[in-house]
Amino acid sequence: MGGSMDYQMLIAGQLVGSDRMIDVLNPATEEVFARVPHASAAQLDAAVAAAAKAQKLWAETSMSERRSRIEALAAAIGEEAAELARLITLEQGKPLPEAAGEVEWSIGYLSHTATLTLPDRVIQDDEAFFIETRHKPLGVVGGIVAWNFPLLLCCWKIGPALMAGNAIVLKPAPTTPVAALALARICQRVLPAGLVNILTDNNDLGPHMSTHPGISKIGFTGSSETGKKIMASAAQSMKRVTLEMGGNDPAIVLPDVDVKEVAQKVFGGAFLNAGQVCLAVKRAYVHEDIYEPFCAELAALAEQAVVGDGLMQGTTIGPVQNRAQFEKVKGYLEDARACGRIIAGGEVTTERGYFIPPTIVRDVTDGQKIVDEEQFGPILPVIAFADVEDVIARANASDYGLGGSVHTKDLDKGMEIAGRIESGTIWVNQQLNIGPHIPMAGFKGSGLGVEQSVEGLAEYTQMQVINLARA
């Protein structure tokens, strides 16, 4: 179903291979479905050199030219949407409708980013001085992305990097490189040579990227552990970094809600992409007055879910993406069983594929691993609370601060609680409402900088002040 010739890297406008190869597994079958090149350090150097050359010309282009090229990229992705969705499901595992949604999101993010501008801003204009700020390109951006959204995360980096006048060298995750290499073919067709370079590795080129003297910025989406390493090594050359990392997002459910309706929202927010979403609900705090019916409703939703191969009609939850994460999540299942009561799921029964059924665990509390750590898989701990002040403190007692939510019929109260949660995004009466026009930022260990929106675009530039004396 596709061999090594099908999947080549993009360096300096050329599709190239390597003398070493990496097997790519389908997480639903654990079978090799593709082989991709394993880039060398020399190939990374060549990609950075090509990007630097292309960027000099690209920086001179008008915003309208950049816009038309990015729109062309979005349109070309649209022409191959069905095949891209199939590849995403094969390598990542998510159900085909979710994969198709990821392709649509990729197109939408690129299209919106193409509309953004960073105009010069006049600070002072009088008889004595004319002072304005400008946004200058950084040069070559290094993009490093995670395995949970293999196409979307590439587009999240490519769009703002190019719109700001930079070139990019992009490295997908080793377990999900195929959609990125399909994207490489599209980029070769519609973009100037060297502007986008896409290389695949086996988790060995990241340190070379983050210390590379030819790379001015690293845009990273992935685990907090890796993000910290990138930040440390980027410091040697004072690289700019944008780090979008993990979360342990709380959902706080007050007693005045419609239990059935809110349980569906929380369940959807927890189990999208088999829970492998940085902004997913990772712990639900439910008021003791509705704790019993809420737990029962979540358990019923978990039992109704259809776990299976993402290519099979009707599947609602696919496998965990890779063996390492599968083993990690099984460890959290053991912890959940030891310290709480599992009321749905909890048993790994399939012999092949990294399948874990959606699992609801109740009667757990803060201080336990299943609550305090980010599980990044299909397990949801549900914690009872009695006092709002107490639950706010518990929600905030985390090293993370990416997302969170508050559910209540009292909108003023919901807004007041939301404002006190130490997270970059807090939803009130909803989950996972993100978009290319909405900034995304993390508090504390969840990251550094902003992605999406005009604020995210600005992260791919260097501010310059021009200060003119008239007298």
Which residues carry out catalysis?
244, 278
Structure token pair of residue 413: 């109260």
The Cα 158–Cα 429 span in angstroms is: 32
Which is it for the CA torsion 348, 400, 246, 415, positive or negative?
positive
Q: Of 464, 275, 253, which Cα lies nearest the Cα of 355?
A: 275
3 state DSSP class of 320: coil
Q: Tell which residue, 178, 272, 165, 280, has the closest CA to residue 217.
A: 165
Burial of 383 (0-12, 13-18, 19+ CB in 10 A): buried
- Helices (H), ranges, 124-199: 152-163, 178-190
SS3 81: helix
Tell me if residue 68 falls in helix, strand or coil.
helix
Q: Which two tokens stand for residue 176?
A: 């999900």
Which letter does DSSP use for residue 289 in this model?
G
